[in-house]
């Protein structure tokens, strides 16, 4: 066992970066046994080295000069936990050219520029690992890339954003959106600007990464239609519960004969489905395929220590397998078309605010039937001449269902815009 420390560089020293440093120091002896030598953070790049930090970095650790890390021969691998697309992308390319492997938690960067980054890493004979970019402490990337390489995965679906799952769990218990968002920010689950989480953009980037790995085809974030929970009404969460469903922000990627279906949206999940019970900030990813049938991975999906744990796991993987069997390439060898949402069959939840008068339900049912959309269940709550009408449909092409809903919205007895949510089939 060597006594010479192996140097690690950090791009970023915020919540995750400082947690990586702290956990590596706390587990120094265990890490040394695994790697075969001591491991230490040599330098960490930050935008303002003089800014106050809760992480209490060692004297001289922080730098504002990227070249200090790129050109340091004592740094073997760099963990990128700074985020953003530029200049992070350019820096990663420069690190590869300098012969340094990179571990990243940057799902937006990978979902937009993954092909370029993987090609550059392979060209320079270094590693790009990214477990922390998807589900924090859940090792779904490693399972898909390595353990299931021959399993012909046909579907990946689940809860891949811990912040929104925490919020939806609280909303299901009667809390309002603004209150639970503030609590998520106080606990560190949500950023001061929560836009990426609550609009579904964060989950869409993760779905793009998982779909690319699972199906060996290039999927970018621009291919993933996404809706968030920022416009979700607590009324619909309550209706869903009464109907036997939980509302979850579900990301999914499926192989179908026509290509690949991808998307992120608030979705009604039957109480009998395993994903319905996943509460708080936990994530859960279900993998389906002919050989594996169904595998579910569950674990914490938000938090600095959880993400840092995945970063450290990748760091140890790089340091322990630099010249051995790691799969450096991203496995992209297919070109599968993305199936438009309008062509995808799904049950839908529809809530209408209507005048309580004869013939309303008959008129709605007629329009749905004309678009070949059948009704599974109906719930009506009437008061003072108005009614909230909730309809759950059987699976139908979404384009046809939405055409019918647009026609229904134009009827004289309808007030306001209809609310439409997807429903997760039981199989």
Contact (Cβ atoms closer than 8 angstroms) between residue 367 and residue 407: yes
102 is written with which tokens? 């990179």
Give the pLDDT score at 325. 44
Q: Are residues 296 and 166 in the same domain?
A: yes
Give how far Cα 250 sits from Cα of 65, 228, 229, 232, Å.
40, 10, 11, 14
Listed range (148-162, 204-218, 346-360, 394-408) with the worst mean pLDDT: 148-162
Q: Are residues 296 and 313 in the same domain?
A: no
How far apart are the C-alpha atoms of 83 and 388, rounded to whole Å? Answer: 44
User: Is the four-CA dihedral 300, 303, 309, 311 of positive or negative sign?
Assistant: positive
Give the pLDDT score at 99. 95
The count of structural domains within the chain is 3
For residue 333, pLDDT over 90 is answered with no
CB atoms within 10 A of CB 304: 20
For residue 79, pLDDT over 90 is answered with yes
Give the pLDDT score at 43. 97
193 is written with which tokens? 């600007």
Task: Give the CA radius of gyration of the chain.
Answer: 24
Query: How far is CA 376 from its chain centroid?
Result: 31
Is pLDDT larger for residue 313 or for residue 246? 246
Contact (Cβ atoms closer than 8 angstroms) between residue 364 and residue 391: yes
For residue 329, pLDDT over 70 is answered with no
> For 384, left (φ over 0), alpha (ψ -120 to 50), or beta?
left
Q: Is residue 96 part of a domain?
A: yes
Listed range (258-272, 296-310, 343-357) with the worst mean pLDDT: 296-310
Across the range 142-155, mean pLDDT stands at: 81
Give the pLDDT score at 427. 62
% of the chain beyond a pLDDT of 90 = 71
Q: Is residue 172 part of a domain?
A: yes
For residue 324, pLDDT over 70 is answered with no
Give the pLDDT score at 331. 62
Three-state SS at 318: helix
Q: Is residue 391 part of a domain?
A: yes
Q: Are residues 362 and 417 in the same domain?
A: yes
Contact (Cβ atoms closer than 8 angstroms) between residue 165 and residue 285: no
For residue 3, pLDDT over 60 is answered with yes
Across the range 216-231, mean pLDDT stands at: 95
Give the pLDDT score at 376. 95
How far apart are the C-alpha atoms of 61 and 55, rounded to whole Å? Answer: 12
% of the chain beyond a pLDDT of 70 = 95
Across the range 366-394, mean pLDDT stands at: 94
116 is written with which tokens? 């370029």
Dihedrals φ, ψ of 150, to 5°?
-110, 15
Is pLDDT larger for residue 288 or for residue 330? 288
For residue 159, pLDDT over 50 is answered with yes
Contact (Cβ atoms closer than 8 angstroms) between residue 319 and residue 202: no
Last residue of a domain, one of 320, 351, 376: 320
Work out the widest C-alpha separation in the chain, in whole angstroms: 84
Q: How far apart are the first and last CA of the chain?
A: 52
Give me the chain's average pLDDT, please. 91
Q: Is residue 118 part of a domain?
A: yes
Q: Are residues 53 and 148 in the same domain?
A: no
The structure tokens 């630099």 sit at 322
How far apart are the C-alpha atoms of 85 and 107, rounded to whole Å? Answer: 10
Across the range 34-63, mean pLDDT stands at: 90
CATH code, domain carrying 347 = 3.30.70.260
The boundaries of the domain holding residue 168 are 140-301
For residue 326, pLDDT over 70 is answered with no
Give this prediction's pTM: 0.90
Read off the pLDDT band of 210 (50, 70, 90).
very high
379 is written with which tokens? 């719930």
CATH code, domain carrying 241 = 3.30.360.10
Buried b (16+ CB within 10 A) or exposed e, 391-415: bbbbbbbbebbbbbbeebeeeebbe
Q: Which residues pair with 258 in a beta bridge?
A: none
How far apart are the C-alpha atoms of 140 and 146, rounded to whole Å? Answer: 10
Last residue of a domain, one of 320, 355, 372: 320
For residue 354, pLDDT over 80 is answered with yes
Annotated catalytic residues are 206
Give the pLDDT score at 2. 56
Report cis status (omega within 30 of 0) of the bond before 193: no
Contact (Cβ atoms closer than 8 angstroms) between residue 63 and residue 44: yes
Q: Are residues 388 and 403 in the same domain?
A: yes
Buried b (16+ CB within 10 A) or exposed e, 67-86: eebbebeebbbbbbbbbeee
Query: How far is CA 359 from its chain centroid?
Result: 44
Give the pLDDT score at 302. 66
How far apart are the C-alpha atoms of 80 and 70, rounded to whole Å? Answer: 12
């Amino acid at each position: 066992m060597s006594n010479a420390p192996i140097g690690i560089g950090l791009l970023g020293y915020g919540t995750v970066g400082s947690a990586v440093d702290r956990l590596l120091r706390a587990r120094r002896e265990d890490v040394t046994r695994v790697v075969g030598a001591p491991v230490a953070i040599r330098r960490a790049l930050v935008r303002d080295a003089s800014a106050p930090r809760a992480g209490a970095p060692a004297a001289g650790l922080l730098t504002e000069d990227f070249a200090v890390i790129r050109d340091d021969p004592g740094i073997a691998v760099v963990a990128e936990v700074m985020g953003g697309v530029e200049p992070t992308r350019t820096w990663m390319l420069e690190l590869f050219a300098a012969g340094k492997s990179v571990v990243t938690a940057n799902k937006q960067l990978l979902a937009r520029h993954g092909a370029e980054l993987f090609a550059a890493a392979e060209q320079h004979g270094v590693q790009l690992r990214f477990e922390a970019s998807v589900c924090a402490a859940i090792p779904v990337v490693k399972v898909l890339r390595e353990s299931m390489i021959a399993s012909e995965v046909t579907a990946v679906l689940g809860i891949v954003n811990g912040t929104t799952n925490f919020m939806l769990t609280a909303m299901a218990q009667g809390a309002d959106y603004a209150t639970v968002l503030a609590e998520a920010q106080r606990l560190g689950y949500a950023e001061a600007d929560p836009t990426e989480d609550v609009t579904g953009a964060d989950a869409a980037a993760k779905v793009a990464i998982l779909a690319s790995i699972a199906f060996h085809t290039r999927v970018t974030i621009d291919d993933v239609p996404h809706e968030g929970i920022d416009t979700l009404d607590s009324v619909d969460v309550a209706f869903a519960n009464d109907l036997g469903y939980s509302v979850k922000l579900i990301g999914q990627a499926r192989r179908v004969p026509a290509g690949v279906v991808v998307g992120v949206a608030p979705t009604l999940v039957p109480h009998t489905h395993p994903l319905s019970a996943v509460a708080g900030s936990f994530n859960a990813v279900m993998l389906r395929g002919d050989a594996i049938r169904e595998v579910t991975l569950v674990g914490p999906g938000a938090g600095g220590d959880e993400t840092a744990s995945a970063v450290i796991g990748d760091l140890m993987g790089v340091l322990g397998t630099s010249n051995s069997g790691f799969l450096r390439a991203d496995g992209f060898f297919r070109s599968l078309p993305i199936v438009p949402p309008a062509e995808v069959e799904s049950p839908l939840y529809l809530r209408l605010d209507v005048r309580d008068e004869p013939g309303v339900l008959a008129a709605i049912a007629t329009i749905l039937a004309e678009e070949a959309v059948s009704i599974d269940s109906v719930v009506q709550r009437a008061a003072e001449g108005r009614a909230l009408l909730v309809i759950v449909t059987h699976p139908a092409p979404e384009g046809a269902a939405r055409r019918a809903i647009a026609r229904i919205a134009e009827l004289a007895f309808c007030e306001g815009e209809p609310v439409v949510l997807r429903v997760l089939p039981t199989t």
